[in-house]
């Protein structure tokens, strides 16, 4: 693996050349080979010259060729190969081109791939008339801006004029990028493309850098304000850094994929089993599932890897399973039960804070697809699974029958941590929202979802819009596809009195008409082709906040078998009207202590309305506890809030005077 260091040649005086007039071959030490017979220019790396894998700028090559044509009495007999447009844009003409077949150096680059900081076109050439024609090739110089690791591999995806993907191509050198990429081919130079051999990929180039335990980097034309490529240099922001969540979780990519690896052999010794798994990539500390082996004693659920070699894994097995007979598979425990699915219409989930209450999602990450776990995987584990899927060269969609395959390496990012909060990432242009199903309930407060107020998947032009008696009626040019109670977004409507644009919950009248409530004066809005209605987009959907109240108990309460606790709202504590605080689920905050040193109680912070409480406000509470044999009565006050540590300590004095009586 060869890394780009940026030490390219920019001074033409560093170059030397061999010229082929009849049958000459390149002399050792020549960086440039000028073949006047085929009108090909080659860049070649060898031990005797100064050219390295870092290449040479196109401007330096042009300047060097000018020097040679000026000084060489033989070369001046031939038409000059290049014409400049800018320092970073050139054209090859008069039948000249770079040799695209010669490989150079350890990285095996072609001559075009050794060109730095310059794009170019190649003109067609009529040898009979000696006239230049249209472009037969166009190359863009792709340069990344930002910091990447020396061994980090950038890759790119192009798109053809017929919107057919061209697949994934690695940049030749690792680290940051400065490489020419061909985006246009027209063999006859007429501009009319032959769909068999020609192509024009000028509309799309997507750059990616996805390394395990690093943040994922991506960039495209939209990021640099460009709609289509020309033959020039482009600079794309592309940077990554250590992914603290994955580094802390410390799980191998092989485990995080959840993919099964085939087992071809096994042995047992000293309470450990060693299974043979070629090039597995697991690491010490990974938890694994082993299934389908014979004897079955090798099978395990959630065992921890204690040692690894390139082609083997060792884990604890307390008794000898017997001689190996047939292999099964090994996969990452927890992760092998997760799925990633795309849907053609939005899957509905509800229970969110209003708006939208319910929302639609076209992508669902299922953390516990087969209801395997008593406590579902954490947000960090779901994130690790998803990041591993997004490095796969193969399909990652578990719902291909409905929505077709999705190649992991080019699927846009789906999750992002901001601090300890996990956000799903949708795609506005596709009305694609992302949901995490079967999440760990303890993570509910730190999950943020990107979803839509409707399962419609397009924007529809508005024909007319008017407000009368605080009700807006919208007529659309074509059927809108919405249903009642869905949330829509109105854009592009001009008005004089009250703005029609925004998000609204609608009532459907018919296929072309719906209404929504909006206070305002009666008026008609002004519409044009930019007046649209589309699904409302919600990028930060959350569940009602659940506050956790922790009660910590002193030793006297812990040791008292009869000890109880109670939590009241403070406003009426000390009277017969005192109100016990309800848990989010399961009744009042009142129970036996039962030897526990602490308990955690869930409180519906955004929804609790007991005794007239205003939801989403801090609640002053009073906790009491009392035992019999060892704990006296104790009382302590506290607050249940959104952004504070909700904890109350109940430390009861030692009971020395309680008399249980004679019974």
pLDDT at 159: 83
Specify whether the backbone of 593 is left (phi greater than 0), alpha (psi in -120 to 50) or beta.
Answer: alpha
Tell me what percent of the residues of the chain surpass a pLDDT of 70.
99
- 515, 469 contact by CB (below 8 A): no
400-433, pLDDT tens digit by residue? 999 999 999 999 999 999 999 999 999 999 999 9
Q: How far is CA 464 from CA 198, 474, 493, 496, 511, in A?
A: 46, 6, 9, 15, 14
- 396, 388 contact by CB (below 8 A): no
pLDDT at 161: 74
What integer is the mean pLDDT of 620-627?
98
- 306, 316 contact by CB (below 8 A): yes
DSSP 292-309: S-BSGGG-EEEEEEEEEE
367-405, pLDDT tens digit by residue? 999 999 989 999 999 999 999 999 999 999 999 999 999
Neighbours of 241 (CB within 10 A): 12
Residue 657 in this model has a pLDDT that exceeds 90: yes
pLDDT band at 663 (very low <50, low <70, confident <90, very high): low
Peptide bond just before 295 cis, omega within 30 deg = yes
DSSP 422-445: EEE--BGGGTB-EEEES--GGGGG
What integer is the mean pLDDT of 317-322?
96
pLDDT, averaged across the chain = 96
pLDDT band at 643 (very low <50, low <70, confident <90, very high): confident
What integer is the mean pLDDT of 584-588?
94
Strand partners, 94: none
Strand partners, 417: 422
Q: Which among 563, 603, 565 has a CA at the least distance from the CA of 587?
A: 603
- Alpha helix (H) residue ranges in 280-378: none
pLDDT band at 439 (very low <50, low <70, confident <90, very high): very high
Q: How far is CA 478 from CA 335, 345, 533, 534, in A?
A: 45, 19, 11, 13
Strand ranges in 326-366 using DSSP code E only, listed in sequence order: 329-332, 339-350, 358-366
pLDDT band at 160 (very low <50, low <70, confident <90, very high): confident
Residue 71 in this model has a pLDDT that exceeds 70: yes
What integer is the mean pLDDT of 332-338?
97
Domains of the chain are 12-237 (no CATH), 254-336 (2.40.30.20), 338-448 (no CATH), 460-541 (2.40.30), 546-650 (2.60.40)
What integer is the mean pLDDT of 354-377?
94
* Total-model pTM: 0.91
Q: How far is CA 136 from CA 181, 202, 540, 620, in A?
A: 14, 14, 48, 76
pLDDT band at 195 (very low <50, low <70, confident <90, very high): confident
**Cα 367 to Cα 385: distance, rounded to the nearest angstrom:** 9
115-146, pLDDT tens digit by residue? 999 999 999 999 999 999 999 999 999 999 99
Neighbours of 323 (CB within 10 A): 10
Quick one: CA dihedral 104, 108, 111, 115, positive or negative? negative
């Amino acid at each position: 693996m060869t890394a780009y260091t940026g030490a390219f040649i920019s001074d033409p005086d560093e170059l030397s050349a061999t010229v082929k007039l009849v049958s000459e071959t390149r002399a050792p030490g020549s960086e440039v080979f000028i073949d006047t017979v085929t009108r090909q220019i080659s860049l070649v790396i060898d031990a005797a010259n100064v050219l390295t894998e870092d290449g040479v700028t196109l401007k330096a090559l042009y300047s060097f060729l000018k020097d040679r044509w000026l000084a060489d009495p033989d070369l001046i007999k031939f038409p000059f190969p290049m014409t400049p447009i800018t320092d970073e844009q050139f054209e090859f003409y008069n039948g000249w081109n770079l040799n695209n077949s010669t490989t150079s150096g350890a990285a095996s680059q072609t001559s075009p791939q050794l060109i730095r900081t310059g794009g170019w076109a190649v003109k067609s050439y009529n040898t009979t008339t000696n006239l230049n024609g249209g472009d037969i090739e166009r190359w863009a110089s792709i340069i990344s801006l930002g910091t990447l690791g020396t061994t980090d591999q950038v890759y790119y995806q192009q798109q053809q004029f017929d919107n057919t993907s061209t697949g994934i191509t690695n940049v030749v050198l690792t680290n940051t990028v400065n490489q020419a990429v061909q985006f246009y081919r027209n063999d006859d130079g007429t501009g009319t493309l032959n769909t068999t051999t020609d192509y024009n990929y000028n509309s799309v180039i997507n750059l990616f850098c996805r390394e395990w335990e690093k943040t994922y980097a991506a960039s495209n034309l939209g990021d640099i304000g460009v709609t289509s490529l020309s033959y020039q240099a482009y600079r794309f922001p592309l940077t990554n850094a250590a992914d603290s969540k994955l580094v802390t979780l410390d799980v191998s990519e092989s485990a995080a994929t959840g993919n099964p690896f085939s087992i071809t052999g096994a042995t047992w010794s000293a309470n450990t089993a060693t299974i043979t798994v070629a090039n597995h990539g697991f690491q010490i500390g990974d938890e694994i599932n082993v299934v389908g082996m014979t004897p079955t004693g090798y099978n395990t659920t959630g065992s921890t890897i204690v040692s690894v070699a390139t082609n083997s894994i060792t884990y604890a097995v307390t008794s000898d399973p017997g001689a190996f007979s047939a292999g099964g598979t090994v996969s990452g425990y927890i992760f092998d039960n997760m799925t990633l699915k795309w849907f053609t219409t939005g899957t509905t989930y509800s229970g969110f804070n209003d708006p939208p209450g319910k929302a639609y999602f076209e992508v669902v990450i299922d953390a516990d697809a087969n209801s395997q776990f008593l406590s579902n995987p954490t947000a960090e584990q779901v994130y690790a699974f998803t990041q591993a899927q997004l490095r796969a060269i193969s399909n990652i969609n578990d719902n291909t029958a409905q929505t077709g395959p999705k190649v992991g390496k080019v699927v846009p990012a789906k999750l992002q941590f901001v601090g300890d909060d996990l956000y799903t990432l949708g795609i506005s242009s596709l009305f694609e929202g992302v949901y995490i199903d079967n999440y760990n309930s303890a993570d509910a407060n730190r999950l943020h979802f990107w979803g839509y107020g409707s399962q419609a998947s397009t924007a529809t032009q508005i024909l007319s819009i008017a407000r009368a008696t605080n009700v807006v009626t919208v007529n659309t040019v074509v059927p809108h596809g919405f249903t009642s109670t869905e949330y829509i977004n109105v854009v592009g409507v001009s008005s004089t009195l009250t703005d029609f644009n925004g998000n609204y919950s609608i009532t459907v009248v018919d296929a072309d008409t719906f209404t929504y409530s909006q206070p305002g004066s009666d008026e008609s809005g002004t519409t044009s082709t930019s007046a649209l209605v589309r699904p409302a987009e919600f990028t930060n959907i959350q569940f009602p906040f659940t506050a956790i109240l922790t009660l910590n108990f002193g030793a006297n309460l812990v040791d008292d078998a009869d000890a109880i606790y109670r939590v009241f709202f403070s406003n009426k504590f000390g009277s017969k009207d005192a109100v016990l605080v309800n848990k989010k689920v399961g009744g009042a905050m009142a129970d036996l202590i039962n030897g526990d040193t602490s308990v955690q109680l869930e409180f519906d912070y955004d929804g609790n309305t007991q005794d007239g409480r205003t939801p989403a406000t801090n609640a002053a509470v009073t906790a009491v506890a009392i035992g019999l044999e060892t704990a006296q009565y104790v009382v302590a006050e506290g607050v249940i809030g959104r952004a504070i540590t909700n904890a109350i300590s109940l430390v009861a004095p030692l009971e020395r005077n309680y008399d249980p009586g004679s019974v």
